[in-house]
Amino acid sequence: MSRTRCIALIAHDQKKDDMAEFARRHKAKLMGWRIVATGTTGGRIKEAVSELDVTRLKSGPLGGDQQIGALISTGEVDMLVFFVDPLTPMPHDVDVKALMRLATVYDIPMALNLSTADILMQTLTA
């Protein structure tokens, strides 16, 4: 039996409203996925759609991006939605870049903004 597909969801603070909207808009499809998220993002997703199965990892600046990178490298994440804030300096910028790098290395679908994430979700079968 194949395992449940896993999507990683992350949003920087200025993009958390976008992530809540994304979760609401795609609730029906996301219900069929296991979700891993960085700490604060995961909390916002659960607030927006309480029925979703969300595993909350560390907050991004405390290692959450690296945890998700590790899950990508072990083949446990099938898709990454990462709403990045390009206008705010981040103390953990190197972690952000490392995560995008691993998503590229392992060739998993990666959306960095809401419009691309919407298109990705439209490509998914239920």
Ligand X SMILES: O=C(CO)COP(=O)(O)O
The residues annotated with a catalytic role in the active site are: 65
Is 39 assigned to a binding site?
A: yes
| Smallest distance from ligand X to CB 28, Å | 23
**Amino acid (one-letter) located at 22:** F
- Is residue 10 near ligand X by the rule CB under 6 A? yes
Listed in sequence order, the residues at least 6 apart from 44 whose beta carbon sits closer than 8 Å to its beta carbon are: 11, 16, 19, 20
Q: Kindly give the interhelix angle for 114-123 and 16-25, rounded to the nearest 10 degrees.
A: 20
**Amino acid (one-letter) located at 86:** P
Is 74 assigned to a binding site?
A: no
| Smallest distance from ligand X to CB 95, Å | 6
For ligand X, the closer CB: 13 or 105: 13
Task: Restricting to residues 50-89, name those near ligand X by CB under 6 A.
Answer: 59-61, 64-65
